[in-house]
Amino acid sequence: MITSKHLFIGIVLLGISIFCTAQEVKIEFSYDKPNNSLTLILTNNTDKEILVMNQGRLSEFSGSYIVLTESSNGKSADLTICLFTLESGKWILHKSLSPKGRIELSYPLDSIPANNVVRAHLFLSTYSNDEKTGKLTSKRYEKNLYID
């Protein structure tokens, strides 16, 4: 039989486990209405280098990407855009986020064929070396931004 004491201990343990798993990457995702653009700021909260993966070249739903949801006449459609654009005509596989560093990205919606965007859904994939094992570990983050 579960008593209030057992329930309290369970809640405390759950709270401790959630509190101890700190987010390695702080995500600030916003919409600038006057400029009709999205701004994404990624901040590394750790003392280790983190690789931010770009959208996969073979699968649009791998790596990091943003899904823009457009709404018109009661219908909606999704458009997927990659996190990083080409540099010197070459595809960017990943960008390094140095310890305590930050990356700021801007996505002007006027230059993207997107109209009446009502939501931007960020899917972020990161990789870093585990300090204890030395193995490469991955993390996946998601963030929704609703646009008025």
The CATH code that applies to domain 23-146 is 2.60.40.10
Q: Enumerate the domain spans of the chain.
A: 23-146
Neighbour tally for 67: CB within 10 Å: 16
Neighbour tally for 109: CB within 10 Å: 20
Q: How far apart are CA 119 and CA 134, in angstroms?
A: 38
- List Cα–Cα distances, 15 to 5, 10, 126, 143, in angstroms: 15, 9, 25, 22
Q: What is the pLDDT of residues 67-102, one digit of tens each?
A: 999 998 889 999 999 998 888 888 889 999 999 999
Q: What is the pLDDT of residues 94-136, one digit of tens each?
A: 999 999 999 999 999 999 887 889 999 999 999 998 888 889 8
Pairing of strands 75-82, 102-108: unpaired
